Chains A and B, each alone.
Chain A
Amino acid sequence: MRSKLSTLFDALLPVIATLAALAVGTVMLLLLKVNPIEAYAALWDGAFGSANSFAETLVKATPLLLVALGICISFRGDVINIGGEGQMIVGAVLATWVGLTFTEAPGWLIIALALVAGFVGGGIWGGIPGVLKAYFNVNEILSTVMMNAIAVQLMNFLLRGPMIDPAQAELASKIPQTARLIDEFHLARLAPTRLHAGALIAVVLAVVVYILLWRTIWGYRIRAVGQNPHASRYAGIKVSRYMVLALLLSGAFAGLAGAVQVYGVNYRMITDGSASGFTGSAGFNGIVAALFGQLHPLWSIPASILFGALLVGANKMQRVVQVPSALITVLNGLVVVFVVSSEIWRHRRQRRRLAAAGEEEAQPKPDQPQVQKEAGQ
């Protein structure tokens, strides 16, 4: 009974952290001389007020969820991928290239190829830091940051040069964007809103990633490496290989997010010269969503919807009570800080439980057998 209660408490920690962030947000709104109730009402209305706004929320949540799925994989493998922005960009570039090059092919084929291209592009962009970490001992935080900067420049170069929309190329003030994909290549709409099939794909993939992480040997090894690389090595797991795999898959899902953004929302690649000009910072916010979902692919679904709602609602809030939508970025940051800070209580209770169990049985069961079983294969 007590363990059930504490599981519930664990699950509620992120919610408590969000409430705490919203409380700080309330204070900030008061300081900005804005009625918080009015502001949050606008936020809610903007995110869930009508079928259209709810659809917008889901549209915003889709890339967050895809990025978050990748983050679940890499963070479980104890590799920190903050290169989601760059991986989204490279995935989107490859996917867009597919759609703009093979205009004669049937729609279903191109969409499928484009999604694969996005997956591969992001995979390459995540795989490089993976290889650098595993075989050259280059810290992945740094290399993914650098790869972000490189991807942005690559995008700007391509969108201003080789891949520019022919219509824009003739104008004096060229908007960096590609030509529009033909209608046959657009991801299907799910309702008379902007909601597209990408959302469905993301949810299906959440289940796939869950199965991958907890029901397959690769997932098991990625998590084992994440929890204890030394023990994993003794157990015969090729640690380097699984580090690369974790980052590669993580990048691949971000790349897919980029492809879905192009084929489901914009129908072209467009930017303002910055990474967020294309990604809308989904590469970063996806990390927030994954953490909020406790690095669990299925919990990442509601988490992504929550943050999608915050982003969409923020626009409405900006219009109604004139609070800059940057407030939401602040709250996102606070949610992350509060969530990681609240972990301490979970750890404390876990230890207390272990200590109690240790007193009951003279010898607590060590975790070893699991790892040894792995070695036998």
Chain B
Amino acid sequence: MITELFSTTVLIGILASGIRLATPYLYAAIGETFSQKSGVLNLGVEGQMLLGCFAAFYVTFTTGSLWLGLLAAIAVGALMGLAMAFVTVNLRAQQGISGIGFYLFGLGMSDLLFQRLMGTVETVQGFPKIYIPGLSEIPGIGEIFFNQNILVYGAYLLVPLAWFVLNKTTLGLKIRAVGENPDAADSLGVNVARVRYFTIILGGILSGVAGASLSIALLNVFQQNMTSGLGFIAVALVYFGAWHPVGVLGGALLFSMVNSLQLWVQVLGIPIPSDIAVMMPYVLTILVLVATVSRVRAPSALTKPFERDE
């Protein structure tokens, strides 16, 4: 049965679902990369995702418009980001802990709204697969890369875009300066608070989209606590990817490929207990963190609130 894993159809299946599964991680982790690059650890990603998940699903379910659903997730994510920014920038609250608070808030709020507004698990028709003439027809490759829905494509386009913004634009320079040495950035006239507001809200928006990608593009349902730790893993992937969008992409792909592999192992009925198989991506992530992280330095001002000397 093990040999079945290596047949072409199964391999293509594993790779295609691996590519798809990486989507929510990519959105959330790229967003988190921005906020961490500017020196803010946002641990509330999971809560933002859950609310985005629900908002997207509920609006799509009631209006029938996927785009309105996505917009709702963006709005909710932005609002959560705004609150987080106020608490961490203006009130200079400890970031890790306030993140846990925002997580609990999102967890409870999405559950509460779900029970009040819907009550039962429903399904929607999610974003359809987009067929790209030519590319989608390439054997194997087409099936793996070019037979996905728009949010999946968006997630992968986000990676080079994030790299470009962070490394090749003035905005990116400001973000990195604020994360490395806010005092120096401030003395050069960079508005530290404004930069951090921008990155935290951007992070919130992308977390919201990550949630939407689950509820209206990949799974097309909403259930209580349906992200089940996905947002926390997205935070982990930022460390894993050493605060570099391409590294984050590598981490997200590794994680979701192993995840996809274990799903197929179960589908094919290979006798590995499913609970043990599900454990594998997490074990692997820890092992890779052990092997890589020690060489990379975090942004110097990460988790440190900025205060102007007066």
Residue pair B105, A153 in contact (C-beta under 8 Å): no
Residue pair B289, A150 in contact (C-beta under 8 Å): no
A332 at the B interface (CB under 8 A): yes
Distance from B291 Cβ to chain A, minimum over Cβ atoms (Å): 9
- Chain B, residues 108-148, CB within 8 Å of chain A (1/0): the string is 11011001100000000000000000000000000000000
Q: Chain A residues in contact with chain B, CB under 8 A?
A: 32, 80, 82, 132, 136-139, 141-143, 145-150, 153-154, 156-157, 160-161, 274, 284, 287-288, 291, 324, 326-337, 340-341, 343-344, 347
Distance from B43 Cβ to chain A, minimum over Cβ atoms (Å): 7
Neighbouring A residues of B65 by C-beta, 8 Å: none
- Chain B, residues 54-87, CB within 8 Å of chain A (1/0): the string is 0000000000000000000000000000010001
Residue pair A324, B105 in contact (C-beta under 8 Å): no
Neighbouring B residues of A147 by C-beta, 8 Å: 286
Most buried by A among B94, B108, B115: B108
- The residue that B104 contacts in the complex, of A136, A153, A333, A344, with Cβ under 8 A, is A333
Q: List 24 A-B contacts (CB under 8 A).
A: A82-B43, A137-B293, A145-B229, A149-B279, A150-B283, A153-B278, A154-B279, A284-B104, A324-B115, A327-B108, A328-B108, A330-B105, A330-B109, A332-B108, A333-B104, A333-B108, A334-B105, A340-B93, A340-B97, A341-B93, A341-B98, A343-B93, A344-B91, A347-B92
Distance from B255 Cβ to chain A, minimum over Cβ atoms (Å): 11
Neighbouring A residues of B220 by C-beta, 8 Å: none
Q: Chain B residues in contact with chain A, CB under 8 A?
A: 41, 43, 47, 83, 87, 91-94, 96-98, 100-109, 111-112, 115-116, 224-225, 228-229, 232-233, 235-236, 239-240, 273, 275-276, 278-279, 282-283, 285-286, 289-290, 293-294
Residue pair A157, B275 in contact (C-beta under 8 Å): yes
- Contacts between the two chains (Cβ within 8 Å), count: 150
Distance from B225 Cβ to chain A, minimum over Cβ atoms (Å): 8
Give bound CA distance, A139 to B233, whole Å: 12
Give bound CA distance, A68 to B33, whole Å: 31
SS of B interface (majority): helix
Give bound CA distance, A9 to B217, whole Å: 50
SS of A interface (majority): helix
Neighbouring A residues of B236 by C-beta, 8 Å: 139, 142, 145-146
On whether A329 and B107 interact (CB within 8 A), knowing A136-B290, A157-B276, the answer reads: yes
Residue pair A341, B91 in contact (C-beta under 8 Å): yes
- The residue that A340 contacts in the complex, of B47, B87, B106, B275, with Cβ under 8 A, is B87
Residue pair B106, A333 in contact (C-beta under 8 Å): yes
Distance from B75 Cβ to chain A, minimum over Cβ atoms (Å): 18
Known pairs A146-B236, A326-B224, A332-B108. 11 more at Cβ < 8 A? A141-B41, A146-B282, A146-B285, A150-B283, A153-B276, A324-B116, A327-B108, A329-B108, A337-B98, A340-B94, A343-B93
Distance from A284 Cβ to chain B, minimum over Cβ atoms (Å): 7
Closest chain B residue, CB of each to CB of A324: B115
Neighbouring B residues of A137 by C-beta, 8 Å: 293-294
Distance from A318 Cβ to chain B, minimum over Cβ atoms (Å): 10
Residue pair B108, A132 in contact (C-beta under 8 Å): no
Residue pair B233, A145 in contact (C-beta under 8 Å): yes
Residue pair B105, A337 in contact (C-beta under 8 Å): yes
Which are the 10 A-B pairs with shortest beta-carbon distances? Answer: A329-B108, A336-B101, A333-B104, A333-B105, A330-B108, A157-B275, A326-B111, A337-B101, A142-B236, A153-B279
Give bound CA distance, A344 to B88, whole Å: 11
- The residue that A138 contacts in the complex, of B102, B233, B293, with Cβ under 8 A, is B293
